[in-house]
Structure 1
């Protein structure tokens, strides 16, 4: 699939290799800052620099409440959600008390003060949404 558009740090559009309409994907296992949140535009830019107009491999896990496919996206065999978290552009997605699949990478990024983790007050997107709502009315 070819990446045609990056909406934000964890949502992108891909066109199937055989053609057809682009499909909206939410990257599994991570949560990037909202686009109107501190770090949101930087997260989108980082993902765009990495995957825009590139061919990726997509493994769909499920569909979310918004109709997006929730998928793992690979570029050259590298998991892009892991890359985003490791470089400090996203949090590992929490599941209840579970720290998520990329917690170790998040801990390393925080220790190294990479990206959004350079700010000790950086607010995880789920808390931002609880306090401020969505950036999209």
Structure 2
């Protein structure tokens, strides 16, 4: 019975279009946990960005920046789907502001590319590159996708 109830709760979270709660944990620069009022924490992967892996150059700084921005704060998440790792994918806002846009603008993440698209935060990424902020201050920043392909995932 407990397994059925947990399954129903997860399905309800996945099908919801909005989620509001307090951030209880930041895993890395693009993944966090949100505890809705009266509910279990939900793992959220921020849509539209790719932050450095924890074991990658700038990974710790990206995680720290996200934690400073959202940890123990009320956030709103416009959910989109679930990924292969069963994380909820969504746009995270704090005080009505898009957290992913801020992370990219400050140089803590890349706008997530898909095929020929530069991604939803291409303007913010270009601003960070031009100003040499964050990871773009490094001589040769490596996109997380290329890093994972070359080195695999970081050990948890």
Question: What is the deviation of 1:70?
Answer: 0.4
Shift of 1:21: 0.9
Work out the CA distance in 1 between the residues paired with 2:40 and 2:155: 23
Task: Report what 2:125 is aligned to.
Answer: 106
Mapped pair 1:6 → 2:26:
yes
Q: 1:32-81 CA deviation, whole Å, 9 max, x = no partner?
A: 00000000000000000000000001110111010000010000110000
2:116 paired with 1:97 = yes
Moved beyond 3 Å, runs of 4+: none
* Aligned pairs (5 A) from 1:33-72: 33-72=52-91
Gaps of 5+ in 2: 1-20
Alignment RMSD: 0.8
Gaps of 5+ in 1: none
- Please give the alpha-carbon distance, in whole angstroms, between the structure 2 residues aligned to 1:64 and 1:2: 21
Q: Which has the larger radius of gyration?
A: 2
Structure 1 distance, partners of 2:91, 2:139, is 28
Partners of 2:39 and 2:76 lie apart in 1 by: 16
TM-score normalised per structure 2: 0.85
Query: Are 2:35 and 1:15 aligned?
Result: yes
Q: Tell me the distance in 2 between the aligned counterparts of 1:86 and 1:126.
A: 19
User: Whole-Å Cα distance in 1 between the matches of residues 28 and 55 of structure 2?
Assistant: 10
Aligned length: 136
**Aligned partner of residue 25 in structure 1, secondary structure:** strand
Cα distance in 2, alignment partners of residues 23 and 136 from structure 1: 22
Give the helix-richer structure, 1 or 2: 2
SS in structure 2 of the partner of residue 88 of structure 1: coil
